[in-house]
């Protein structure tokens, strides 16, 4: 079971060459004869040689490993990004270290530390904390940000949040809303800010005046949204005829609060979410939402990071990925 590991020395001996030559061949560095190459490759295969990553890392200070930090792996949106990134990087022989910061700054810090300790060659940081963690500031390796980003980020890839907000607002207006409500994350991150601006822009275009409590900030989850809408309904009645939420879970919470209070969606109140997670498709009624292109988000980030790692030119500092309106039955 536990057969002795074969080292580069074993291979060298068996092939009758030096370890340097084996190293050259294995790493395809060139500078050896066809014959030598064949001989070494054959021996490598026969002996089942696997290079010792620790030794390589120790020598080169490179790990062929990239880190990915997400705020919540149980959130489908993030899970999808992780999966695509994993598949993307494996093609280039990079492995991916996944970290769930669990929205906990302490845990996040440990994870970041841990990744640096492991000598990751680069980092992809997906959204999460309100402010970028200070542990990231003096990063020894390139970082690509997905979604949210700090001021002086090297590279950011994000959805066209403004357009998302705009499409949501437009749809609501066209569906006849005159008193739409914006239910958003209470933390005004840049992404949320942009969704808000787009939304406002649409309302303006339709000459809809927003007054009173038309904008509400809450914790961006199902329970908070449901609670808040219930509270509004019982205290102020249904003073709105449409709701745009900055993610799908909030929309779902709002929907259920509405249903419990006896308001019909979409007849009395229309609803648009954000993300297009599968819940938005399977809930009742299926929800109109803004679709984020996770695939493109992830791949662009992967490409950019790879270039950064290889010290290649990056065309842009900022990539924005189109979003689309997914019309279902809440508008």
Partner DNA sequence: CTGAAAGCGCTAACAA
Partner DNA sequence: TTGTTAGCGCTTTCAG
- Smallest separation (angstroms) from its own copies to the CB of 13: 20
Q: Which stretch binds DNA (CB under 7 A): 7-15, 74-82, 302-310, 314-322?
A: 7-15
100 binds, among its own copies, DNA, none (CB under 5 to 8 A by kind): its own copies
19 binds, among DNA, its own copies, none (CB under 5 to 8 A by kind): DNA
Total number of residues binding DNA (CB under 7 A)? Answer: 28
Q: State the Cα–Cα distance between residues 231 and 236, nearest whole angstrom.
A: 8
Contacts of 94 (CB under 8 A, 6+ apart): 64, 65, 66, 121, 306
Cα dist from 316 to 82, 154, 210, 228, whole Å? 23, 10, 37, 40
- Smallest separation (angstroms) from DNA to the CB of 325: 50
20 binds, among its own copies, DNA, none (CB under 5 to 8 A by kind): DNA
Binding residues for DNA restricted to 21-50, rule: CB under 7 A: 21, 23-24, 26-27, 31-33, 35-36, 49-50
- CA triplet 326, 254, 269: central angle to 5 degrees? 70
Do β-strands 65-70 and 122-126 pair in parallel, antiparallel, or remain unpaired?
A: parallel
The site string for DNA over 59-78 (x = CB under 7 A, - otherwise) reads xx------------------
> Shortest CA distance to 277 belongs to which of 220, 199, 213?
220
Q: Quick one: DSSP state of residue 238?
A: -
Closer residue to its own copies in complex, CB, 11/208: 11
DSSP string, 99-142: EE-TT-HHHHHHHHHHHHHTT-SEEEEES-SSS--GGGTT-SS-
- Residue 117, number of CB atoms within 10 A of its CB: 8
Q: Which residues make up the interface to its own copies (CB under 8 A)?
A: 1-3, 50-55, 57-58, 72-74, 76, 79-80, 82-83, 86-87, 90, 95, 97-100, 102, 107, 110, 113-114, 116-119, 138, 140, 252, 278-279, 282-285
- Token digits for 24? 């050259």
118 binds, among its own copies, DNA, none (CB under 5 to 8 A by kind): its own copies
237 binds, among its own copies, DNA, none (CB under 5 to 8 A by kind): none
- Smallest separation (angstroms) from its own copies to the CB of 58: 4
Residues 323, 291 contacting (CB under 8 angstroms): yes
Closer residue to DNA in complex, CB, 49/125: 49
- State the residues that interact with DNA by CB under 7 A: 5, 7-9, 16-21, 23-24, 26-27, 31-33, 35-36, 49-52, 55-56, 58-60
């Amino acid at each position: 079971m536990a057969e002795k590991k074969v080292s580069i020395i074993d291979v060298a001996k068996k092939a009758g060459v030096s370890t340097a030559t084996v190293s050259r061949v294995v790493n395809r560095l060139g500078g050896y004869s066809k014959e030598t190459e064949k001989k070494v490759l054959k021996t490598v295969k026969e002996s089942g040689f696997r290079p010792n990553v620790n030794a390589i890392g120790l020598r080169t200070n490179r790990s062929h490993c990239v880190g990915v930090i997400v705020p919540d792996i149980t959130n489908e949106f993030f899970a999808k990004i992780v999966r695509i990134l994993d598949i993307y990087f494996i093609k280039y022989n990079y492995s991916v270290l996944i970290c769930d910061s669990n929205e906990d700054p302490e845990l996040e810090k440990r994870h970041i530390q841990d990744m640096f300790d492991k000598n990751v060659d680069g980092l992809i940081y997906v959204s999460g904390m309100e402010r970028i963690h200070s542990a990231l500031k003096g990063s020894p390796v390139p970082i690509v940000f997905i979604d949210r980003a700090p001021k002086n980020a090297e590279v950011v890839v994000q959805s066209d949040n403004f357009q998302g907000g705009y499409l949501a607002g437009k749809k609501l207006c066209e569906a006849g809303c005159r008193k739409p409500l914006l239910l958003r994350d209470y933390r005004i991150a840049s992404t949320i800010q942009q969704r808000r601006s787009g939304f406002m822009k649409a309302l303006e275009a339709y000459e809809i005046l927003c007054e009173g409590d038309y904008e509400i900030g809450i914790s961006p989850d199902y329970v908070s949204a449901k609670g808040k809408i219930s509270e509004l309904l019982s205290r102020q009645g249904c003073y709105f005829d449409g709701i745009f939420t900055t993610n799908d879970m909030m929309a779902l919470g709002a929907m259920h609060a509405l249903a419990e209070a006896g308001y019909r969606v979409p007849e009395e109140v229309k609803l648009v979410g954000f993300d297009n997670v599968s819940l938005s498709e399977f809930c009742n009624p299926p929800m109109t939402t803004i679709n984020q292109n996770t695939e493109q988000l992830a791949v662009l980030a992967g490409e950019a990071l790879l270039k950064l790692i290889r010290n290649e030119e990056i065309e842009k500092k900022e990539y924005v990925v189109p979003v689309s309106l997914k019309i279902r039955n809440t508008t």
